[in-house]
Amino acid sequence: MTTYYKDRGTRLIHIWILIGVNSFACVGTIIAGVMGHDLILLLGLRAASFLEQPWTIVTNLFVHGGIWDLAVEMLLLYFFGSLLSKLISINKFVIVYFVGGIVGNVFFMFFASPYPILIGALGAVIALMGAIIVLAPKSRHIIPIPIWIVITILVVLFILLPGAAWQSNVGGLISGLVAGGVLRKRANTFQ
């Protein structure tokens, strides 16, 4: 990969927007819950009601199970998103993020029970991680070991974590790996 984006401050605006929208949705969901309205039922993805609520294929990516869930996912988004943003354009980043989240959602609908509700952006964030594994596996972004090792450990933990939607995480990872391969091939084609 030859493209390296140096203007870090303005290059992270897309990440800050995603963090802001996720935070706003989480706080809004909490406030609505206190007022007696369960927005998770309206915005979360459930395979059994997907045909009646097709918007949930995207809206569930912004709804979280609480502040702790939000904090962990947004920290991962910032950390891995800032690394990936050095390697690809904002447009490609946004595509990897949303396609990864949607592919994770599709995996969840096909491989999980049709009744649980899926919320959170972890499938989309793991897609970013998968792209990094392919595009910059030896990067040491703030840590003394290659990034692919860190990502592999995190993804395995997120897949094995009790109560986690492993189907979504696996779908996001596969999507990110494929996206990274496509982006790497295109970059090599134009060199």
Predicted local distance difference test score (pLDDT) of residue 1: 42
Inside any domain, residue 42: yes
Displacement of CA 55 from its chain's centroid (Å) = 17
Q: How many domains does the chain have?
A: 1
Inside any domain, residue 1: no
Inside any domain, residue 71: yes
Q: Residue range 45-72: average pLDDT?
A: 95
Predicted local distance difference test score (pLDDT) of residue 152: 86
- Label residue 109 by pLDDT band (50, 70, 90): very high
Q: How far apart, in whole angstroms, are the C-alpha atoms of residue 188 and residue 169?
A: 28
Host domain of residue 172: 8-189
In the chain, what percentage of residues exceed pLDDT 70? 91
Inside any domain, residue 108: yes
Q: Are 95 and 183 in contact (CB under 8 A)?
A: no
Q: Residue range 8-36: average pLDDT?
A: 90
Q: Residue range 8-15: average pLDDT?
A: 76
**pTM as predicted:** 0.88
Q: How far apart, in whole angstroms, are the C-alpha atoms of residue 6 and residue 11?
A: 8
Inside any domain, residue 73: yes
Inside any domain, residue 2: no
Inside any domain, residue 113: yes
Q: How far apart, in whole angstroms, are the C-alpha atoms of residue 172 and residue 124?
A: 6
The CATH number of whichever domain residue 113 belongs to comes to 1.20.1540.10
Inside any domain, residue 3: no
Displacement of CA 51 from its chain's centroid (Å) = 23
